A and B are shown apart, each in its own frame.
Chain A
């Protein structure tokens, strides 16, 4: 098991570097620059900008510099940057994981932008996913246990609605009812991790589709497990129904939910652009999309590197989760 985890962790590094390199090439060869705007710049002004940001250097040099920044490189004597991990071995100074400065937002480093925006997206994503798990698993289990009854039909119908209603429709409806009609919650903006009233609507909006999905996955998984032999054995042993469901059935029945959790959580942590836009939240999804529109290369690369690592890590966690939940799975 430990060997498996180590091997997978090591694979993450080259994978992430490849993703970043490909992204770099895509951003670099996309038309337009971070400084292009409605107003055309005199050639001299443009030359000044290119020089300031090192864009006048050969491409390969720029690529190596970028790779050095995001992994590790020796620090030049005249560099004053304090971002990233810095250490010295003997007289040599090293600097690691520094994604550089945003091109669009002068004076802000990509690292600090990530530090600031990730918690927002993470709070939102984790809360939404917890809510979705609570609603989805409960609804799915009950639906499975009461298969083909009114409860089953209605919960599945609502979940179908949840899946098919995009959050850019649900969000504004919730805002209309709870913010503009009832004045219960603010219609947008962020008020810190503890600003609960600002969190309610976005979390609800975001969790809806996941709750619906989880409910359907749970129901399907539970139906299959409830018909299996070991459940019949458990019931025959005279265990209470509660015991049978929570101890034995759920463990097997949640396997589909677990495999869904990896990508779903990664996606949620990455920020969900639409919800962040509707509710004007300073999360990573928003920053990511803006950075692409702005051609803010360091910022785009920083977010992509972060996301690829997170996605790969969560997939690993899911694989480990399998082994714990299903005694039949071994990674040796």
Chain B
């Protein structure tokens, strides 16, 4: 009895399974993937990725947001549907000054907001100022730091006025080493009408100092020239009689302290007034300067002194800071006491930070506060919105001034951060302006409904200046992240197109057979492993190169099915002009290094034999094995691992690389995985040891977005490596106006950094997505970003897309 029931269940399961299989078979035979018929309404149903963080283009940072913003907002320029190069949008044309510092945009006069208001240059001025406003706290603000005074405005910096009422100029205080770097030429050739603002902007850059008193104090302490400005001199004593009177008669601690430490003779002369000449004043000033160096701060000293609220806060912070420093110093002393190694002792002693009370500028601040009327206060003026280099010359002419020549500035401008936001709505509704009932937009579409996590429906905006070009009535954005779910929706005909990287590895073989739908094109994105290049044993360049050359990238690419192997740092096939320039630079380098073309091509690629030789060169004991492979005997494998964020695809690649290293070098590197948000600070703080998984998608269409990862100590590449020479190479390149020459200089920098092998490049990503053949005007461009006004639904089956691998060449 029991057996027969189980048999029946098994039979039922078998029938079910065969049904399922039959389902798969029939779909495989058809030309299209699943149900393929255009939707009844003129609506595109698009899966846009995760739920947008906000409908405010200055807030949302990711690609899912960018896709939505491209329907709702416009900027001066827009991405070209195929190449993503900037093309005219709200700006019809522009002029660039010969030094590439000033950009003049002529705006179209027929552009309107969704509420019918005209769009003028002032809207751009408002949008840019809001983007950099510290209160907006935009995470993309640093993309626009090239705009003059945008960075100081964004980070609360201050300008400083001298006693003559003029602003101090930055280049007068630049430390010698940095002289000439990143400072705009004084005589920028003006373009457009001359105005007061443009005069201010074209003048040499003003000195900006940190807005925070403590940080400013450190900044001044570290710069001898700046310290000079803060020194007291004779003319600072506006009223020496009052000053000395206070010092001599004062009952408070500070006066007493000054009485004891300033020259008695000078004080006496000045109290008498008549004999207080400049020489005596100078003696007083010198005394004060000396006190500033040694530190006048002491809580008791200030007892009974009336201080302003700012100074009181400052003193409270000072006390806290001092305690912290004292504790740190004590901890270091204890450490030193414990160690016997002299070198270590010295190293530890270096860690001891100066007591902040000694900070020069703070002392001056306090003195100025107490003797307000007698000492000239340094005039600090907060950098304001009106100072940034964006100016409306008239309603339809906009001028942007940069801090330095930046020939690729145009390619930044289509980014969401530079799109227009509505001034009136923002001023009226505050952060609630993005609600569907309040929102005002300026793109080809406007918001109809927004149900977060479910759908964002946008409809054609009749007020849009180019409404005639807009072909779709509506776009429904579905926020979805589950790849299987979205492929189900696609197959059942409920959505028309997906976003990039949405076909899972296990489906690629099946889906890529639908050649009228599957899109696989190179992407402005790459994946790599960062190396903790400052930590032993990875601080040895031979070791780093050995690991890199023991990675079989071809095998990984074959396994992934969608990526192409990468040996350089900028993705392949994205920047053709750059690759051309790089070829030239590489050829020069090849000749210089006396390598044959054959040797050069294979200088970095997979080669176990070379990898083993490199390990031997690094001083490890290598035992030869079969086929060029080897076993590295004494490698400290316990000091390294491969860290990646928990994701199936990351694990697969890590395991592949692990097994390749084991096979080729005999080193089994342990794997370590982490939850994403835990992983991020671990990686960026270079807390990992050995290798960590890393990837980058370009913010804009220029190789600099990749090379920038190793620029300065910001350390986006997460390797801990910083080289002033590399920074200078990039700076020089970016100052070069001729695009071809600039690319060559960038290529030299790339060669330089790749010779250090601080990362192991793995692959150029591919777009890897799918769309129905009746969706036209969507191209697999390197960022998978679409100017929606060109997208439409083709109902004539004869005109449907065919063989989309060549879609970029067609039409």
Contact = CB atoms under 8 A, between A and B. Distances in A.
Contacts of B679: 32
Contacts of A161: 9
B59 A180 contact: no
A93 interface: no
B482 A47 contact: no
Nearest to A158: B9
A293 B20 contact: no
A246 B792 CA distance: 62
B480 interface: yes
B61 interface: yes
B343 interface: no
A223 B565 CA distance: 66
A31 interface: yes
B781 to A, nearest CB: 21
Contacts of B20: 173, 176-177, 181
B480 A108 contact: no
A179 B488 contact: yes
A189 B479 CA distance: 10
A11 interface: no
B434 A38 contact: no
B480 A180 contact: no
Interface residues of B, number: 71
Interface residues of A, number: 61
B716 A40 contact: yes
Contacts of B486: 280
A37 B452 contact: no
A112 B7 CA distance: 52
A186 B493 CA distance: 9
Interface string B285-298: 00000000000000
Contacts of B454: 189-190, 282
Contact of B27 (A105, A180, A277, A287): A180
Nearest to A149: B1
Contacts of A180: 23, 27, 34, 488, 491-492
B716 A39 contact: yes
B435 A107 contact: yes
A51 interface: yes
B692 to A, nearest CB: 13
B494 A186 contact: yes
B154 interface: yes
A76 to B, nearest CB: 15
Interface string A15-43: 00000000000000011110111111111
B559 to A, nearest CB: 24
A177 B23 contact: yes
Nearest to B453: A282
Contact of B452 (A42, A105, A172): A105
Contact of A31 (B2, B135, B677, B714): B677
Contact of A107 (B6, B9, B432): B432
A75 interface: no
A280 B478 contact: yes
Interface of B: 1-2, 5-6, 8-9, 16, 19-20, 22-23, 27, 34-35, 51, 53-56, 59, 61-62, 134-139, 141-142, 151, 154-156, 430-435, 451-454, 478, 480, 482, 484-486, 488-489, 491-492, 494, 675-682, 684, 695-697, 699, 714-716
27 contacts: A37-B680, A38-B695, A38-B697, A39-B139, A41-B142, A43-B155, A44-B151, A45-B139, A45-B142, A45-B154, A48-B155, A49-B137, A105-B452, A106-B53, A106-B59, A107-B55, A107-B434, A107-B435, A177-B16, A180-B23, A180-B491, A186-B489, A186-B492, A187-B492, A280-B489, A290-B51, A293-B676
Interface of A: 30-33, 35-45, 47-49, 51-52, 80, 101, 104-108, 113, 116-117, 150, 153-154, 157-158, 161, 172-173, 175-177, 179-181, 183, 186-190, 277-280, 282, 286-287, 290, 293-295
- Nearest 4 Cβ contacts at the A-B interface: A32-B677, A44-B155, A181-B23, A282-B453
